[in-house]
Amino acid sequence: MIRLRVRAMASVAALLATAACGTAESAGSSAITARDALVTAPAGDGPAAMYLTIANTGRHPDTLVAVATDAAGRSELHRQVHEGQLVRMEEVAEIEIPARGEVRLMPGGDHLMLLDPHPDLSPGDTIVVELTYRRAGTLGVPAVVGTHADAARMMEEAAGGDPRGGR
Amino acid sequence: MSNTSSGRRRSPHRLRPLGLLVIAMLAAVAAGCDSGAANAANVTGYRGIVLAEPIARPDFTLTDTYGREFDFRRETEGRLTFVFVGYTYCPDICPIHMANLAAVLRQMPGIQARTRVIFITADPERDTPERLREWLNAFDQRFVGLRGTPEEIHAIEDALNIPRSIVPENGDGNYAVGHAGQVIAFSPDGPARVVYPFGTRQTDFAADLPRLLTDRWEDR
């Protein structure tokens, strides 16, 4: 009798644990992966922009809510708003990463802003940036420091060929 | 321990991923601009966006990074002149346009000799002459940097047929400036007929540059 009850309780507990965990979010098996991170060393002083791709293999959307790095004083999430010919940039509180999808932070669009970057930041350096997600927690991603020409190239490769198709 | 993001006032908006924004923006701009314009022989084949109405070369004088008066018409007469309004704390649009133009012109020294790149700052408060010069030098020492009062800048933006730039008044030293994203190409004979939005690649500039220099236009 006791043995049965224990076994039943163990089964129920296991069931509950599975339901609560959902997608694997424990260390070492996050649904979130960040890759191809590029930081542009600013010309003169000023903020450094960071671009990257964030993939979410999980069944639930996740949300990037914070960014931090030792290589800069303060870091923020930004988006660029295109209103006709005018381009405005503004800070946002979060960036959603869709379930079973990915987000590409690219020049001209969403990006991360590293304010007061370390003055020695130079093309060729690699820094570590900590990204905090609402579900996945804080994950570090290495980012290569490059030039604005590198950022331009990243943008062109993402667009994949001539978007205007020539005339 | 890393520094954390500050507790500044943040937008309450939830943001959807914007995906390939650049392509969407380019498509929208291209669709919105009527290219069945002045001169059929010249209109086809440009990578840039051919304007339905050319922009007359504006008449203004600003101060360059060396503190000298720069009479735009006199200084750029007879030259292919790229004009862009931006600011040096801009994360990507401004430096990428400048980096692309610099790279292309470096590959075409004969064309560079007949071309001028003019960067007008929409942020004269932070973009001091020294800072503007240092920033432009990272791309090309020959690029001209111009500064003026907000009123002068707005008048020039009106003449260039681009939206007036917006400098926020919240006093935070890290503010972003809203400004037009396209480079305007003034042909050597005077008016501007082609503009280049953000997303324009080096290969696009390189393809158009020889034509911008030599095409004859018959404007309506």
Give the max Cα distance, chain A. 81
Start-end of H helices in B60-175: 72-76, 93-107, 109-112, 129-137, 150-159
Q: Which chain A residue is nearest to residue B132, measuring alpha carbons? A: A44
Name the residue among B191, B188, B190 with its Cα closest to residue B211: B188
Largest separation between any pair of C-alpha atoms in chain B: 65
* Helix or strand (DSSP H, E) at A154: helix A148-159
Name A2's bridge partners: none
Contacts of A104 in chain B (CB under 8 A): 17, 19-20
Query: pLDDT tens for residues B154-183?
Result: 999 999 999 999 998 876 777 889 999 999
Q: CA gyration radius for chain A?
A: 21
CB contacts < 8 A, A to B, total 183
Judge whether A108 is closer than 8 Å to chain B, CB to CB: yes
User: pLDDT of A25-51, one tens digit each?
Assistant: 444 468 999 999 999 988 777 899 999
- Mean pLDDT per 10-residue run, chain B (220 residues)? 42 50 52 43 79 95 98 97 96 94 96 97 96 95 97 97 90 84 96 95 94 82
Nearest chain B residue to A95, by CA: B15
Q: Which residue of A has its CA nearest to B23?
A: A163
Q: Which two tokens stand for residue B159?
A: 């003449």
Q: Is the Cβ pair B17, A47 closer than 8 Å?
A: no
By the 8 A CB rule, do B174 and A115 touch? yes
CA nearest neighbour of B156 among B63, B52, B24, B45: B63
Task: Write out the two tokens for B10.
Answer: 């943040």
Contact A95, A64 (CB under 8 A): yes
- Per-residue pLDDT, B45: 86
Could you say which residues of chain A have pLDDT below 50? 2, 18-28, 162-167
Q: Is B1 helix (H, G, I), strand (E, B) or coil?
A: coil
Residues 6+ away with beta carbon under 8 Å from B33: B49, B50, B51, B52
Q: What is the DSSP letter of A16?
A: H
| Dist. CA B73–CA B200, nearest whole Å | 26
ipTM of the complex model: 0.74
The pLDDT of residue A13 is: 54
| CB-CB neighbors (< 8 A) of B127 in chain A | none
The pLDDT score that the predictor gives to residue B215 is: 87
Contact residues, chain B, for A79 at CB < 8 Å: 15, 18
